[in-house]
Amino acid sequence: MRYGSVLDTIGNTPLVEVPRLSPDPSVRLWVKLEGQNPTGSVKDRIALAMIEAAEAKGELEAGQTILEPTSGNTGISLAMVAALRGYRFTAVMPDNASRERVQLLRAYGADIVFSEGAKGTNGSVALAQKMAAEDDSVYMPFQYGNRANLMAHYEGTAAEIIADLPEIKAFVAGLGTGGTLMGNGLRLKEHDPAIKVVAAEPELGELVYGLRSLDEGYIPPLFDPDMLDGKVKVRARESIVWTRELLRREGIFAGISAGAVVWVAQRVGRRLARDGGGDVVCLLADGGWKYLSTEAWTQDIDTAEAQVEEVLWW
């Protein structure tokens, strides 16, 4: 296939059946491989959508600096799109993001401002908002509240899933900004209101929760809890185990959050089996490359768990 720009290769990712990971013979389990996007994650979709939306509204001018809080993937995608469209890009990210994410951001030409790792992405959001408030020459897409984030999934990801698998019964994805779940959920429920939309969310280390007070709680403006039919928390350990299973049994090398999503899909699938079964789609947000330094695939499970918990794996 020929393309005029790498931006044209964003989306239309493969939907692959993973029968060896199905929890029941009546359940067909599928994974949508967002790691196949040009920078290796689902965030290419929203980076392009948010920048195009800002351009259309006249909010971005050539040479302007884009600033965004990100745990890595969105930053890498924004850096790529910004470079091709003639903008500078600064990422605000926790200082415990995996080493590969930092290396990739620099490779794509981004400037990086680090926020306190123990405060997670909440810390990055607060710091980026402060920086943007102090400098009105920067443009902040703000993926947590940008409707173009949600629409990239409504018009792209979910439309692709419906075209490939109109009989879909359940959809599982990770909860971060909420954009993936809200955008896909909206479109899928328009297609068939009976489709179950379930979120996998990370159970972060004690350290992360311990340093917070309730006043620091943050619910992304895009997130509408009523769009979901369930939300399940997943520990790093189960995520690693299922990320390994994806590779060992199905040859799919995906990021650690993918394991969390497939683990939740086991529960969703078993429940679906009691109602006659059906097709479950898991959105796998990224490929495994950016997590190699965590030794998630190569160490014994206890060591791998400890190393993954030290970095921001979500």
Partner 1 sequence: MAVQVRIPTMFRRYTDGEATLQVEPGTIADVIDQIERRHPGIRQQLLTEQGELHRFVNIYVNDEDARYLDRLDTKVTDGDTVALLPSVAGGGPS
Q: 130 catalytic, yes or no? A: no
Query: Does position 78 bind partner 1 by CB under 8 A?
Result: no
Q: Which residues pair with 286 in a beta bridge?
A: 41
For residue 166, the minimal CB distance to partner 1 (Å) is 24
Q: 169 catalytic, yes or no? A: no
Number of residues that bind partner 1 (CB under 8 A): 56
Among 214, 274, 276, 302, binds partner 1 (CB under 8 A): 214
Q: Nearest CA to 201 among 170, 224, 178?
A: 178
267 touches 16 (CB < 8 A): no
Kind of pairing between the strands at 168-174 and 196-202:
parallel
Window 255 to 314, contacts with partner 1 (CB under 8 A): 255, 257-258, 261, 283, 285-286, 312-314
For residue 3, the minimal CB distance to partner 1 (Å) is 26
For residue 65, the minimal CB distance to partner 1 (Å) is 20
Q: Provide CB contacts within 8 A for 34, sequence distance 6+.
A: 13, 41, 42, 45, 157, 283, 284, 285, 286
Place of tokens 């419906």: 162
Query: Does position 232 bind partner 1 by CB under 8 A?
Result: yes
Window 122 to 161, contacts with partner 1 (CB under 8 A): 122, 124-125, 144
Query: Does position 193 bind partner 1 by CB under 8 A?
Result: no
For residue 44, the minimal CB distance to partner 1 (Å) is 13
Beta strands in the chain (DSSP E): 15-17, 27-33, 65-69, 88-94, 111-115, 138-139, 168-174, 196-202, 230-234, 278-284
Query: Does position 186 bind partner 1 by CB under 8 A?
Result: no
Among 175, 227, 265, 308, binds partner 1 (CB under 8 A): 175
- CB atoms inside a 10 Å sphere around CB 112: 18
Among 17, 52, 111, 201, binds partner 1 (CB under 8 A): 201
Catalytic residue (one of 43, 119, 196, 290): 43
Tokens of 169: 């019964």
Among 81-89, 134-142, 167-175, 273-281, the segment contacting partner 1 (CB under 8 A): 167-175
37 touches 10 (CB < 8 A): yes
- CB neighbour burial string for 65-88, b if at least 16 within 10 angstroms, e if fewer: ebbbbbbbbbbbbbbbbbeeeebb
CA angle 163, 165, 166 (to 5 degrees): 75
Cβ distance to partner 1 smaller for residue 62 or 150: 150
Q: Which residues bind partner 1 (CB under 8 A)?
A: 42, 69-74, 120-122, 124-125, 144, 173-181, 201-204, 206, 208-210, 212-214, 216-220, 225, 228-234, 255, 257-258, 261, 283, 285-286, 312-314
> Which residues form the catalytic set?
43, 257
